[in-house]
Amino acid sequence: MKIQELFDLLKAHQEKSLRFEYTPKAFVAANYHITEVKHIKIDAIDCGGNATAWNETIIQLWESPKESDTTGYMSGYKALSILNKVGRMKAYDLASEVKFEYSNISFHTAQLFVDGFDVIGKTLVLKLSVENTKCKAYDTCGMPEEKEKRNESSCCTPETGCC
C-alpha cells in the first residue's frame, strides 16, 4: 500500500477504530501509540549488479506498558491527525510504500507490509504481513522467481557469476 492510499483510507474511515492485525488472528493491543514516522530513501544494488532506488514510509507502533488496561482503540481521525502533523514537518513521498514497524514480547521486531484491510462494523482493520527476502536478480542468476522458497539457499552462489 502506498502512503497516499493509507491517507485516503483513513480519511474515508475517520470515525472508525483503527486496529492492526500483525499476523492472522493476532492484533496490536489497544494501548498502541504511533511513536515514529520514518521517511526512508533506499539506494540499493542487487546481487546481479543492478542499481535501484525507492522511498518507503515506516510508521512505528508501540504498546505502552503503563496503559495495558486501555480498551479503546485509536480512531482513523487521530491516526490521520498524527500523520498529517508529521507531513507538515517533513513532506511525504505520497508514492512511497508504507510499512508498519512493530514488536511485542511474543513477536519479533519487523517491518510489516499492508496486505489489505477489512471494515467490520465500526472498526477498520489493517492486515499486515511480512514479505520474504528474495533474489532480485533471479533472471541474471538463472533462478526462476516462482521457485524461490523462504528456506532455500541463495541463488547467488559463486558459480552463478552474479555475486
Query: What value does the mean pLDDT take over residues 51-76?
Result: 96
Model confidence at 39: pLDDT above 50: yes
Query: pLDDT tens digits, residue range 18-28?
Result: 999 999 999 99
Interval 115-138 mean pLDDT: 92
Are 57 and 93 a contacting pair, CB within 8 Å? yes
CB burial of residue 46 (10 Å; 0-12, 13-18, 19+): middle
Predicted confidence at residue 145, as pLDDT, reads 62
Average pLDDT over residues 111-138: 93
**CA distance readout (Å), 25 to 28, 130, 141:** 10, 15, 37
pTM: 0.85
